[in-house]
Amino acid sequence: MRSGKNKKRKLIKIFVMLVEMELEKHLKTIFDNITEFIALCDKDFNIIYSNRPADIVLGQGQSIIGTKCYSSYRGKTEKCADCPLKPSMESGTVIPLESFDERFGEYFEERAYPITNESGELDGFVLMSKNLTKSREIEEKYAQSKKLAALGQISSGVAHDFNNVLTGVLGRVQLIKRQTEDPRVLKNLEMIETAAHDGSATVKRMQDFARLRTDEKFIPIDVREIIDEVLALTRPKWRDNAEMQGVIIEPVVDIEKEIYLLGDPSDLKGAFTNLIFNAVDAMPEGGVLTITARIMDEKVVIEFKDTGIGMTEDTLERIYDPFFSTKGVKGTGLGMSEVYGVIKRHRGSIEATSKIGKGTNISITIPSGERVLKTDEKESEEDKYLSKILIIDDEEYILDMLEELLEDQGHSVTTSLSTSNGLELFQKSNFDIVITDLGMPEMSGWEVAERIKKINKTVSVVLLTGWALNLEAEKIKENGVDFTLQKPFNEENLYQLIQDAKKLKDQRTSDLSS
């Protein structure tokens, strides 16, 4: 009997051992498949267990068991002053610690879970660490996006007021130029006009850096061609000026033929010019600027890589901030924020990496496009369409300026300082085109457009605004607006828009009568 019981006990013991071994095997499998670095340490900071990811990364493929945790986790020779174990013991809760590891060039978060005995004394602890680099990048991009959006809202109000003023200045200058032939007066007027256009360009950049409109009519662009054009335009900067200072900057272009992207040529040339200028400024002793392009997942990836002085981490985090500049009084701080806005409006992304003394790499990703064959057909010359036009705006100087510009072209113009009076005038007469300001006291330009279209659907409605509209083209038309005219504008754009608006009105009238 006794031998039978002993045999049974032995069988149970063996069974328990097998279960424990199997359980240990399963636990090891689980821990080895967790991406965080896990180590079990004794109270003297010796690692007595480590999972596979910890061995692969921290031990470079070798087991870290038997090493000190501060050696394997931090690369240090003594206990860490900021060890997460102590605050966790004192507070009774696990306190995470974030740090940058120069060995890997990445951020990590450490958590220490104390293991105590019945007396409350420390027997050891579990140390867990995870890579935070990707999550930090996502958070930084989100914060950057929110910051740009907020700054965009602030700047848009200022830009609107400036645009109204510049519209009046430009309009008056263009009218006065017609009334004089004095060379000195004309020269001074041209200087005023140039200054006003420069002011307009600065205001546009303020509006554009955070404007995420994607309703532009993009066209296929040959990447190699546009890069060659920009290099030709910037040659005085990277070759002539550099050679005068005794340095050599060598551009290296590695772009295959027949790579196309969808975009606005003017905006992209401006963005690429900014990137090349920044690269040249970053290489005061000379260097190499490498520009590459390739297709990846139906997108075009363009990279601008210089061998310059590089940027600190703090500078890298702020490069897209408006008015932030590393060039002192020589820089406006709008360059990279403008590039950011252009790429975002092209439904793309931009990423910057840099190392001090090694250089900077700017990587841009934009949806690809297909080549469009050009035809030799020439458009016939536009006929001049004379129109009956109603203009509604609460700024009298803008009304007067528009009236003079359009009447000089032979159009019949009626003006109104209020929306209610403007709608009354519209009902009493047969107008071809209505130009209405967006922001007015009684009602907005959207409401005016809606009421106009209820009275007469064939009339072309032009929305005049100093704001940066973020609506898509289809959404604008749904609100009864056929064209938008951004303040400030030049007379050529105004005249062309009036012709297009009259054509549209005549086409609608013809469609209704047929």
pLDDT digits (tens, 9 = 90+) for 429-460: 999 999 999 888 889 889 999 999 999 999 99
The domain boundary, picked from 85, 109, 131, lies at 131
Could you tell me if residue 397 is inside a domain? yes
Residue 165 structure tokens: 């003023």
Could you tell me if residue 123 is inside a domain? yes
pLDDT given for residue 213 in this prediction? 46
Could you tell me if residue 375 is inside a domain? no
Residue 171 structure tokens: 């309009």
pLDDT digits (tens, 9 = 90+) for 43-63: 999 999 999 999 999 998 899
Q: Do residues 40 and 27 both lie within one domain?
A: no
Distance of alpha carbon 272 from alpha carbon 324, whole angstroms? 19
pLDDT given for residue 318 in this prediction? 79
Q: Do residues 237 and 341 both lie within one domain?
A: yes
CATH number for the domain spanning 337: value is 3.30.565.10
CATH number for the domain spanning 88: value is 3.30.450.20
DSSP line for 31-58? HHT-SSEEEEEETTSBEEEE-HHHHHHT
In the 8-state DSSP scheme, what is residue 240?
A: I
Q: Do residues 196 and 84 both lie within one domain?
A: no
Distance of alpha carbon 400 from alpha carbon 71, whole angstroms? 78
Q: Do residues 401 and 479 both lie within one domain?
A: yes
Distance of alpha carbon 340 from alpha carbon 338, whole angstroms? 5
Could you tell me if residue 356 is inside a domain? yes
pLDDT given for residue 241 in this prediction? 82
Q: Do residues 326 and 448 both lie within one domain?
A: no
Q: Is the pTM of this model over 0.85?
A: no
Q: Do residues 93 and 192 both lie within one domain?
A: no
pLDDT given for residue 461 in this prediction? 94
Q: Do residues 363 and 311 both lie within one domain?
A: yes
Residue 363 has phi, psi (to 5 degrees) of -110, 125
Could you tell me if residue 39 is inside a domain? yes
Q: Do residues 394 and 458 both lie within one domain?
A: yes
Q: What is the pLDDT along the chain (514 residues), one digit of tens a residue?
A: 555 556 556 665 665 666 666 667 777 888 888 889 999 999 999 999 999 999 999 998 899 999 999 999 999 999 998 999 988 888 888 889 988 888 888 889 999 999 998 888 899 999 999 998 888 877 777 776 666 666 666 666 666 677 777 787 887 887 888 788 888 888 888 888 877 776 776 666 666 554 544 445 688 999 999 999 899 888 888 888 878 888 899 999 999 878 999 888 888 988 999 999 999 999 999 999 999 999 998 899 999 999 999 998 888 877 877 655 565 434 444 578 788 888 888 889 999 999 999 999 999 999 988 765 544 444 344 445 689 999 999 888 888 888 988 998 889 999 999 999 999 999 999 999 999 998 888 898 899 999 999 999 999 999 988 766 555 556 677 778 999 888 877 788 888 899 999 999 998 988 887 6
364: nearest Cα among 432, 296, 464 = 296
Give the residue numbers spanning the domain of 252. 219-367
Q: Do residues 26 and 40 both lie within one domain?
A: no
Residue 349 has phi, psi (to 5 degrees) of -140, 155
Distance of alpha carbon 146 from alpha carbon 155, whole angstroms? 14
Say what angle helices 335-345 and 265-281 make with each other, to 10 degrees. Answer: 140
- The number of beta carbons lying within 10 Å of the beta carbon of residue 285 is 12
Task: Give whole-number Cα distances, 248 to 244, 290, 360, 361, 386, in Å.
Answer: 10, 14, 18, 19, 58
Q: How many domains does the chain have?
A: 5
pLDDT given for residue 374 in this prediction? 47
The domain boundary, picked from 306, 337, 367, lies at 367
The domain boundary, picked from 208, 231, 255, lies at 208
Could you tell me if residue 383 is inside a domain? no
pLDDT given for residue 27 in this prediction? 75
Q: Do residues 183 and 289 both lie within one domain?
A: no
pLDDT given for residue 141 in this prediction? 72
Q: Do residues 332 and 263 both lie within one domain?
A: yes
pLDDT given for residue 415 in this prediction? 94
Could you tell me if residue 382 is inside a domain? no
Q: Do residues 113 and 159 both lie within one domain?
A: no
Could you tell me if residue 15 is inside a domain? yes
